[in-house]
Amino acid sequence: MDFLEGEVIAIDKPYEWTSFGLVAKVRWLLTQHLGRKIKVGHAGTLDPLATGVVLLCTGKATKRIDELQAQTKEYTATLRLGATTPSFDLEHDIDATYPTAHITEEAVREALCRFKGSIEQVPPAFSACKIEGKRAYKMARKGQDVVLSPKLIRIDEIELTGCRLPDEIDIRVVCGKGTYIRALARDIGLALGSGAHLTALRRTRVGDYRVEDCMTLDEATKWIESLPRPTDTTT
């Protein structure tokens, strides 16, 4: 392995870890291993409450970040119907409840079909999107008004994989860059004449990198620590 020339390390991000925290941890491990500083970056943020594939690029491979970010992604998610939160996930408490008795499995399947293809999506206020140079989530946490414009996204596949009505469904989504599954949950709730938010999210694939081929953070730590240290060839 040549981390300075560049490697892509695929990690199954643990629950509650930020993508930045994952980068910082691996950068520190590699710095200790190499005995010198090294560039490390991630190819696509994953929310703290989500798990799954995060690609870390080292050294010269950081030049591939844009290429890897553009890859198709796959997610599995669990939605709670009939309730919303400000962040559209479990980061915040429920702020409103809605009826669900009218929702049928057929209605869910029909609603999901509406989201396939190229669609416009308004990102969550609690997101890394920028408004006049300021991160939206920082503004939202201060209680400031956050107005984000719709963005064109692409959903290649969306399917219902579990249905526990009246208040819970599971979905699988294959999508392009810039898709917020939290915002998709919000929009599915609206399409059903109710509300919804995420209770679980897992990124299962980025391009050809699948979650079953990823290392856990513990495995990655032990792997890096077990590698032979590079020989100092300077004279």
Quick: pLDDT tens for 63-119: 999 999 999 999 999 999 999 999 999 999 999 999 999 999 999 999 999 999 999
- Res. 235: pLDDT tops 70: no
| CA dihedral sign, ordered 183, 189, 193, 195 | negative
Is residue 47 annotated as a catalytic residue, yes or no?
yes
Q: Are 217 and 28 in contact (CB under 8 A)?
A: no
| CA dihedral sign, ordered 173, 88, 70, 48 | negative
Locate 81 and state its tokens. 């119907």
19-34 vs 217-226: helix axis angle to the nearest 10? 10
**Mean pLDDT of the region 41-48:** 93
Domains of the chain: residue spans and CATH: 8-70+209-226 (3.30.70), 73-206 (3.30.2350.10)
pLDDT score, position 232? 54
**Strands 196-206 vs 51-58: parallel, antiparallel or unpaired:** parallel
What single-letter amino acid sits at 26?
V
* 21 Cβ neighbours under 8 A, 6+ residues apart: none
% of the chain surpassing 90 pLDDT: 83
Enter the pTM of the model.
0.91
Please identify which of the residues 2, 12, 47, 213 carries the catalytic annotation. Answer: 47
